[in-house]
Amino acid sequence: MNMIPFKGDFIDGRFVLPRAGSERAVSEDPGDLDRPVGEFTFDEAAVDDAVQAARRAFGPWSKRSTKERTGYLIRFRHILKARASEFARLISREMGKVLSESKAEIARVLAKLDSARREEADLIRSTVHPIERGVVGRLRFRPRGVVAILSPFNVPAYLASAQIIPALLHGNTVVYKPSELTPFVGQFIASAWKEAGLPKGVFNLVQGAGVVGQTLVSHSNVDVVIFTGSWAVGSKVQEQVSRHPHKLCALEMGGKNSAIVCRDADFSVALDETVSGAYLTTGQRCNATSRIIVEEPIANRFIDGFLRRVNSIAIGYSQDLNAWMGPLVSEKTLKRVEGYLTRARAEGFEVLREGGRFDCGRKGHYLKPSVHLRRHFPNEPLQDGTYTDDEVFGPDVAIYIVRNLDEAIALNNRSHYGLVASIFTKSKAKFERVLREAENGLIHWNAATTRSSGRLPFGGLKRSGNDRPVGFFSPYVCTIPTSSVERALL
């Protein structure tokens, strides 16, 4: 495959190449390192140009009717649908996930475009409340202004679009920074919005590494920051934003997610859902299953079935239709995961299935799925930098054996994170108990931790977020609720 030409940042309605001497980088195909996706350059100086363009465009754009703004979304949808196959191949090539996952991701973007202008719009409709004779109270939602969106590499089209779409629909302007690992996915998105005919400055794209993101987050003319990524980076984003009290900040920062398998679980459902939860996207999901907590009476039977299914996972190149799991996104990521696997042994875990690099006939960042076991409840304090407590973000899962649901819930809550918990049981009462007691923002019943819906809010507790759930609740992040007490004098 040929390298893709780099167009530059997208600012004020046109692509602009960074100035001479800017930093240069290469976007890899993580599954075929002999065929890079393309070279790109970046310069944090472009951030100010992008933010100023967005600020200039905000007034005119916010004054347009919702019907007018919806028209641009509909045109974007038509463009995306027509080029869906091309876009899916690009996502898989640049990020490494298998083609079926990329196609499903684009389908979610199309669904988001539909739900944003239908169901989600109902969340922020104006309401009127009588107060006294001749006086009413009215609640309206106004756009906030310039929205900075920093999106991750793992679901690069959907997680970016899920924030861009509501921000634009409700009258905001956008400066979008994609991951430096998926710059050409970002370029594709910008090209589609350009083709949709958005007015100049309404949507802007800046490319680059962390320094570009830091410059964007700290810019005084940004009103909203929406970040999806690791806790380590997200906590720095929050620190920077705290210096600007006017900015709203929404953070989604990963998880150490648990699947609790009770003794009355449907085995087939539990096995299928936990395998997909642990290894979908090669484990590179904030909602991936990190821990499977199994009740002792069924532990041996569950482990045998789980290992049989893991042994059948087909690893391969992203464009290979027979592959179920692709490579990790980078050599840095692969080495980090390998480090956690080494630490697992030192922390007392049994190795049920060895990880290690995998040769699929191409030079890439391939790693075999691994499984670890711990037979006793961890009583040591939570500690950063450990396999037990960190988010591994790779094709690995730890199985814990517990005596009962009390221990299972306690182990689920023993975490710095609080994104997703799933429970597999036929008992609604057990599920409702987990709903009450689990310290998570998302709680599933007989469904993988990776299950989600654009028609539901998405966000976690503790290090997983800052109580600004997005997903279906995105309109609340990019609008200002405004109350009025009104007396009409005729």
Q: Which residues are catalytic?
A: 252, 286
355 neighbors 395 (Cβ within 8 angstroms): yes
Strand duo 370-374 + 350-353: pairing: antiparallel
Q: Taking phi first (over 0 means left), then psi (-120 to 50 degrees means alpha), and beta for anything else, what does residue 163 get?
A: alpha
- The helix (H) or strand (E) run that includes residue 93 is helix 84-95
Closest among 73, 225, 216, 201 to 147, alpha carbons compared: 225
Q: How far is residue 164 from each of residues 169, 172, 443, measured CA to CA in Å?
A: 9, 9, 26
> DSSP character for 203?
E
- Among 27, 11, 20, which Cα is nearest to 43's? 20
Give the C-alpha distances (Å, rounded to integers) separating 390 from 108, 120, 232, 336, 453.
Answer: 29, 34, 11, 11, 26
Q: Do 372 and 426 contact (CB within 8 A), yes or no?
A: no
Yes or no: say if 468 and 477 are a contact pair by the CB < 8 Å rule.
yes
Q: Which amino acid is at 222?
A: V
Cα–Cα distance for residue pair 480/103, rounded to 1 Å: 35
Name 457's bridge partners: 471
* Residue 128, token pair as written in the block: 């009127």
Tokens of residue 187, six digits: 């370029």
Q: Please give the structure tokens belonging to residue 221.
A: 């003319």
Helical pair 66-82 and 183-195, crossing angle rounded to 10 deg: 120
Residue of 369, 308, 367, 365 lying closest to 331 (CA atoms): 365
Q: Could you tell me which of 381, 386, 365 has the C-alpha nearest to residue 290?
A: 386
Residue among 278, 305, 252, 268 at smallest CA distance from 450: 278
Q: Do β-strands 23-27 and 248-252 pair in parallel, antiparallel, or remain unpaired?
A: unpaired
